Structure 1
Amino acid sequence: MSGDGQAKNMSTMTEIEKSWSEYKYVVVHADKLINTPDVIKTTGTHAAIYSVLYAIFLFCKPSVLTLASIILAFGLVIDTFIGSLNQKVFAGKPLSESEEKRFSEICSNFSGCTSCLTSTFTCLQKQRADTPVKFLTYALPMLAATAYLGRKCSIISLVWIALIIKCTLRIPEVQQKVNMVKDKASGLLQKKQK
């Protein structure tokens, strides 16, 4: 990453930390519950949370407008009462240095995700402006494939599957097996190229 990119990422991270300052106690304590030192327990917790949310979505089948309204309603309620929650639940309990460091890491990860999305959209817009025909040759098939997937499977199911796979890949034994398969596949490709 260039110097300008790093400086922009740091300023974004600092802005996120400032805007989340009221939420830091909730974020850090929720992170402690969800991300434990035990990888298996953390993976199970994440998979359980994703599965419960997935089951709720499948059962309720909310429309996009309903879902956006519910999320905004929750956001407004939390934003209104976060100050009193901090005073009543976390009063007199300053964060330790490790908790402050973890909060900075969470903000840094979020900042990295937002900057990655921004750079991806910027790159796509640049490609579209520079070579519109070439852009269409791979954009249209990808959109057709996603449209087909959308008819066969809901976006919620696809997101849930992706999150469960991501959870499973955190387990060291699974990572080793995946790495072995990748090594074998790359070895076969190299043999074919020779």
Structure 2
Amino acid sequence: MKFSAAMTVTLALTSSVHAEPFRDATTGFGIGPLPTGFEVRPYPQPDGAAFEISSPAGRTGHCMATFVTRPAVARPPSGDHAVRAALVAAARLSLRGDSFSKVRGIRQLGAPGITFTFDMGKHTLSHLRFLWAAFESAKGRTTVSCFTFVERFKQQRPDFETIVRAVMIPR
């Protein structure tokens, strides 16, 4: 009796700790299980798939995870260094020259990538800080952009990093 009650409590706690994963059936892109409280919603993306992810209630933070398919004739750069250089160039173009922190090379599910932070609106009331990550695979490019107010970034960063780690990159 004690064993089954303990097992029931353990199963109940385990099932409430992680939300179900979300996956786009066409591309295979998805968001793996996240701790309870995160909200994940599909978002329209014409050449791939995207998800909006909000952090748990009571916190201010928001992320967008996007996968854009690679045209069949295009090939990704070969080698981690070349991939990361291409991702940095794309980030600089996308951010229109805004400066960002030291770029760190990362790897997830076998896909090379980069991560960095950058600030937007430094001299305005809505000074935001972003955590940005990008990965390149044979099937396409995956990006994750999370943001919050600068004064809340340190508190939110662990949530943002959890979201980045939960991204399921199509291979």
Band the TM-score falls in, shorter-chain normalisation: under 0.3
Larger RCO, structures 1/2 (Cα 8 Å, 6+ apart): 1
Which structure has the bigger radius of gyration?
1
Q: What is the TM-score when the length of structure 1 is the normalising length?
A: 0.24
Q: What is the TM-score normalised by the length of structure 2?
A: 0.26
More helix by share: 1
